[in-house]
Amino acid sequence: MTTRRHVIAMLGAGAGASALTLWPRLTRASTGADTRLLVLMLRGGLDGLHAIPPYGDPGYAALRGPLALSPAGPTAAGAAALKLDATFALHPALAFAASLYARGECLPIVAAAPPYWGRSHFEAQDCVENGTASPDGAETGWLNRAVGALHGEGLSLTTVMPLMMRGPVKVNSWSPPLAMRVGPILLQRLEPLYGDDPRLARAFAEAIAQQGDDISVDEAMSGPAPGVGMGMGAGGNAKPHPPIGAQLPGLMRAAGAFLAPADGPRIAFLEDYGWDTHANQAPILARKLKELDDGLAAFHAAAATVWDRSVVVVVTEFGRTARINGTNGTDHGTGGGMFLVGGAVRGGRVAGEWSGMGSGRLYQDRDILATTDQRAVFKGVLAQHLGLAEGVLASAVFPNSAKLAPSEGLVRARRPG
């Protein structure tokens, strides 16, 4: 019979439990301050025009048709957008992000892209993650190199180590355990396959019997189990991590829980999939953006004690076409959107140079013209928030990028102490 302790042990073994103990302390001298950085990669290509609709641009409504969003009122795509200024708004699902914007803790950045302006997911993602001017410019990730420059360690909340975190510097990994329960429909379909085999029939029957004794992931992770799935507090006292889930809000909550303790990691990475919206975009992004918004709220709550010293960078590999396609979706584009969120962010404004959506203003007559190199934003955060020197950024973290200046004014002035 599977017991609660057995399940917790299995979950811990599959979740990289050994990486959750004895985090090295980064000194204030090495980081410049007791700061936190979380990078969230949205894989698939978030449509920046849908997340940050430029409703005030004269060419926007004509190109977007039924996908156009406006603060003026509901459209075919859903509820009214959340006004930021005379030109830009937020998608109505981003209500928490809008509240952070009102407090000056959310900075949307428009028309941003990596140096690669092609339309391949894989090449674009590689370029974003390796921090060079091309998809094959490095075999290691810029965030790994940044951790190394700070003489610390990083945390990747992923099942597989992403390129952004790969490199010579040690990076711990953690991912939520898989649920132990199996859906009844799947069991029903498997039963005849196992039932005809005398060796497997008994094992299958025992597995069915254990379904009633298994516990949920949230239940398993909410209770203590010595030495498994635990962080270590001052003096080595075990402390359980809060319940988590496999969806983005659960992962963001877990990230906040890892980053909040004084002896926890300072830099973390996580990723989310499902942002490639070639068809039926409006309902898909309404759901995905709500997950993102809930994730930001979950991180805010879990990292409350360090929120004023935190920056969350939300990035994607490219934008989408300015025009919608024949299936009410969008195709791979160039200039997209980014977000900086956190108590340390100097937000309450929209950053980035906007070239417009009128005639002759689109890149290749189909995409938003990218005017901000994502690396400049990354550099600005690492310099202003973590205290890395510009020379180190230009040579070690983002090789051969001396001509690319860090974006300025992204982070609030540090408080004394």
Q: What is d(CA 239, CA 230) in angstroms, rounded to the nearest whole number? A: 6
The residue written with tokens 């409350």 in the block is 304
Q: 3-class DSSP state for residue 183? A: coil
Total domains in the chain come to 1
Q: Which of 121, 122, 136, 60 is nearest to 333 (CA)?
A: 121
Domain of 171: which CATH number? 3.40.720
Residue 234 lies in a domain: no
203 in a domain, yes or no?
Answer: no
Alpha helices in 223-280 (DSSP H): 248-259
Question: Does residue 19 sit within a domain?
Answer: no
Q: Does 409 fall in a domain?
A: no
- What is the phi-psi region of residue 334: left when phi exceeds 0, alpha when psi lies from -120 to 50, beta otherwise? alpha
Q: What is the chain's Cα-based Rg?
A: 23
Task: Please tell me the predicted confidence (pLDDT) of residue 177.
Answer: 73
pLDDT, position 308: 97
CA–CA distances in Å: residue 50 to residues 45, 108, 281, 413: 12, 13, 9, 32
Instruction: From first to last of the 417 residues of the chain, give the pLDDT tens digit.
Output: 323 333 233 333 333 332 322 233 333 433 446 899 999 999 999 999 999 999 999 999 999 999 999 999 765 555 899 999 999 999 999 999 999 999 999 999 999 999 999 999 999 999 999 999 999 999 999 999 999 999 888 999 999 999 999 999 999 999 887 655 666 666 666 667 766 666 677 666 666 665 544 433 333 333 332 222 323 222 333 333 434 445 899 999 999 999 999 988 999 999 999 999 999 999 999 999 999 999 999 999 999 999 999 999 999 999 999 999 999 999 999 999 999 999 999 999 999 999 999 889 999 999 999 999 999 999 999 999 999 999 999 999 999 999 999 999 999 976 544
CB neighbours (10 Å) of residue 187?
15
| pLDDT for 221 | 33
- Give the separation between CA 111 and CA 369, rounded to whole angstroms: 6
What pLDDT score does 179 carry?
A: 58
Sorted by sequence, the CB contacts under 8 Å of residue 410 that are 6+ apart come out as: 107, 340, 345, 346, 351, 377, 380, 381, 384, 385
CB 368 within 8 A of CB 109: no
What is the distance between the alpha carbons of residues 323 and 148, in angstroms, rounded to a whole number? Answer: 42
pLDDT of residue 36: 97
Domain assignment of residue 130, given as a range: 32-176+245-397
**Which pLDDT value is given to residue 228?**
27
Structure tokens at 165: 């975190």
